[in-house]
Chains A and B, each alone.
Chain A
Amino acid sequence: MKKTTLFDIISPVMIGPSSSHTAGAVRLGLLARNIYKNDIKKVTFKLYNSYAHTGKGHGTEKGLLAGVLGLNVDDRRIKNIFEDEISAEIEYEFEYADNFKRHPNSVDITFIGDIEMKIQGESVGAGEIVIRKIDDFNVKLTGKFNTILLVYRDMPGMISQVSSILQYHNLNIAFLNCDRNAKGQEASMVIGIDGDIDAEILETIQEIPDVYFVSYIEKLEQ
């Protein structure tokens, strides 16, 4: 478990009323937006369990939309986001469901734009969040590290190729996890990095044979 610091105790400065149902929702939206990266035409939020049942009283829907639109947890526009001109830029829709297999505060965020992408996330308490799934791939993203996501043809040796590139550029790996999709032909790798990474390194990774897709996901502001 992450150690609590003095900062965790006397912050964040946030729009109320709930760190998990309001601030956490904003952060889920923000991180999903960092993952999707494309222009958003339409976004659908499917809220589960407690998010579905008590979201209205906590501004959970407002928080999710505000995050997707790039607002931070302390942005006063969150309160009236549905009336704000910034939300007129995209189409959005909310759905509600119960599913005991999902965390009490869960949401599926589906983006439609040049590409379609479904992101599953959870608000796990005190404003902390985890993205669990991107399309078919299981991941674990908390927004605390700058992260590289790559999808590649499942085969041995990929991890060492990627890590040697990072090592060459003096980047420290904070964590790394992999997953295969259902078909067993594609695999995903999620690599958390201490520090920043520049475009050139991503290009080098993209050039590795059998890498289909590389994306850089920026961490969230604390």
Chain B
Amino acid sequence: MEINTFEQLKTECIQSGKEIFEIAQENTAFSADITIEDVRNFAKRSLDAMKEAIDAGMSSNEPSMSGMCGTDCLRVQSKFSTKPAMFGKLFEKIIEYALATSEENIRMGKIVACPTAGSCGILPSTIVAISEFYNYTEEEQINALITAGEIGRIISAKVAIAGAVAGCQAECGTAAAMSAAAICTLRGGHVSQIIHACALAIKNILGLTCDPVAGLVEVPCVKRNPFMAIHSVTAAELALANVESKIPPDEVIDAMEQTGALMSPTLKESSQAGLAVTQTAVKVQQKIFG
């Protein structure tokens, strides 16, 4: 059966007794005419690239071409080394890894667009940090990544995952939903908890604008990554406690689609409003592009 909604996904999981990642890898293998092992190898390649990006980003201080971003990951690491974060080591890691990845992106390093380049730090930060902290195996991480991919795919069946079409709610919001799903999977959550985690994550960022300064994927994008990563942890923890979204997950996606369509084009990646036209942003833009 073709799965394009959360409801269908849930029904399929319950009827077959399978987990989301099992259904996703079977369906993907079937429609691409490849083996399940091929699908998992593809996911492993992405997972490895995510870890590589984190490693590179954790030790670099190189600014982006515009000079606006690139030094915050080391700033945060040095703070944590003398004054640990209130919420502990795992919180520190998630913040650091999200910054490391998105700073790698803006300095033209190698990253995985998941789902986009601007939101590339969110999902890797939680999968990798949580797996290191709790010693989850590579197989478990791949299961979580495939689950996240399936969630992103279902969202994209309704909403274009592009800031220019539906605002940042569709990019970083989708990434947060994927991340929440990955966390629930790692922590042993069941399908209903996983999809409610996605709904909770998205409900809380509906309407998020895309107004990047000077049209570059830097401000507010880079710092938005650690914010969204922690946001996804909250969604996952609520859902794992069986807190449910009062609005069913599919309807939340409908709301996201409608909100995206109603948002002014000036707030959708065109840099014609919001942060992009503040006094400082205009000055920055003149300095970079003359």
Residues of A within 8 A of B (CB): 3-19, 22-23, 50, 53-54, 56-59, 62, 74, 76, 78-79, 125-127
Contacts and interface: CB of A to CB of B under 8 A. Distances in A.
Given A7-B42, A10-B43, A16-B110, 18 more contacts: A6-B149, A9-B115, A9-B152, A9-B153, A10-B152, A13-B46, A14-B112, A16-B120, A17-B117, A17-B118, A17-B218, A22-B117, A53-B215, A57-B65, A57-B215, A57-B216, A57-B288, A74-B110
Contacts of B116: 19, 126
Contacts of A78: 108
Contacts of A76: 109-110
Q: Is the interface of B mostly helix, strand, loop or mixed?
A: helix
Contacts of B152: 9-10
Interface in B131-164: 145-146, 148-150, 152-153, 156-157, 161-162, 164
A200 B150 CA distance: 42
A12 to B, nearest CB: 6
B286 interface: no
A126 B39 contact: no
Given A5-B31, A6-B24, A11-B42, A56 B162 contact: no
A29 B57 CA distance: 28
Contacts of A53: 215, 289
14 contacts: A7-B42, A8-B156, A9-B115, A11-B42, A12-B112, A14-B112, A14-B117, A15-B109, A17-B218, A18-B117, A18-B118, A57-B288, A62-B108, A127-B113
Nearest to B288: A57
B114 A10 contact: yes
A71 to B, nearest CB: 12
B98 interface: no
Contacts of A74: 49, 110
Contacts of A58: 216-217
B110 A126 contact: no
Contacts of B214: 54, 57
Given A5-B32, A9-B149, A59-B65, A16 B112 contact: no
B285 to A, nearest CB: 9
Given A12-B112, A79-B108, A126-B116, A4 B157 contact: yes
Contacts of A4: 153, 156-157, 161
A54 B153 contact: no
Contacts of B162: 125-126
A154 to B, nearest CB: 39
For the complex of A and B, list the 8 residue pairs with the smallest distance between their C-beta atoms, beginning with the closest.
A16-B105, A9-B152, A54-B215, A79-B108, A13-B49, A57-B216, A10-B149, A6-B149
A50 B214 CA distance: 11
Contact of B148 (A7, A10, A18): A10
Given A57-B216, A125-B164, A7 B28 contact: yes
Contacts of B108: 15-17, 22, 59, 62, 78-79
Given A9-B149, A9-B156, A126-B162, A15 B39 contact: no
A78 B42 CA distance: 23
Contacts of A23: 113, 117
Interface string B33-67: 00000010011011001000000000000001110
